[in-house]
Amino acid sequence: MSAPLRLGTRASALARTQSAAVAALVTETLGREVELVPVTTEGDVTDAPLASLGGAGVFVSALRAALLRGEVDLAVHSLKDLPTAAEPGVALAACPPREDPRDAVVARDGLTLGELPVGSTIGTGSPRRAAQLAALGLGLEVTDLRGNVDTRLRRVADGDLDAVVLARAGLARLGRADEITETLDPLQMLPAPGQGALAVECRADDHDLVAALSALDDAGSRAAVEAERALLATLEAGCSAPVGALAEVVEGEDGEELWLRAAVFSHDGALSVRMSATGPLGDASGVGTRLAELMLDDGAADLMTATDPVATTTAASSQGATASTTPKRQHA
């Protein structure tokens, strides 16, 4: 009988829940037993803003190091945490079926964003969410927020905050979707690239395991996140850049195709470059890359790098960036 596969996971409740789900899928699909191996990452031991730590990759590096040292056989990440650059020696072996990628609001008294009074405080640690909340023009006070899901929800329950914005997928996986007071339409708030998806990694030279784990891969989910991550990589955007993107598999004239929507915002939400593109599933990376190039041509880089609202306005205007407009649909 084969030894159990060792699956590296962060110790948070959400990470362990996601890893346990993948472990069950591995056992069901491959007939292999799996044991979870907790790994502490830098992002788990500090309350500092993610941007100051080098981005969401702080949740990934320790797991990858454990993989490469042979301490674990595979690792599970929230795919939105993965740096866009490939890691030598590590293979993205599978992207299981994606959960709902949208953002969700948990507010006091069951309120939606539009029902919150002007001046209400809403917590998020995401510059992407903060910029889009500002762009909605609802007069909400956005405050920085770190901590696990329980910690964030408790801030609302205790009355410290009027609302928080979280990924719907995480709440659903933790069995707390009933606490959501509003799920945000992507027209209001585009999610982070890769949000709602999981990444299963293993050592690239473990060819048998790479091949076996491919059975967990969902072709539509993989294509969607490849397009979103290619866009992010071409924009050269880090976690502090307000970038939203969502690719979906839709029915086109010649069968299934990808529809990718993306937006880059100034940090204050006042300006944005919004575009969309379609293309074949087999060219997911190309769809994302070409859409990003069009956005860069329209001033997206200036919005991402400017931090001062005045500088942002000046730089964006010189490059033709547009305020929130109806998305343009391009063939990429």
Identify each DSSP E strand in the chain by its residue range.
Answer: 5-9, 34-38, 74-78, 90-94, 103-107, 121-123, 141-143, 163-167, 182-183, 198-203, 243-252, 255-265, 272-279, 328-331
Tokens of 153: 């929800």
Q: How would you classify the pairing of strands 5-9 and 182-183?
A: unpaired
Give dist(CA 99, CA 158) in Å, integer.
29
Count of CB atoms situated within 10 Å of the CB of 326: 9
Rg (CA), the chain: 20
Strand 328-331, strand 272-279: pairing = parallel
Q: Say which of 44, 47, 73, 81 is annotated catalytic.
A: 81
- HSE (CB half, 13 Å, CA atoms) of 258? 30
Indicate if 144 belongs to the active site. no
CA 299 to chain centre: 23
Q: How far apart are CA 317 and CA 193, in angstroms?
A: 26
Burial of 145 (0-12, 13-18, 19+ CB in 10 A): buried
Q: What positions carry a catalytic annotation?
A: 81
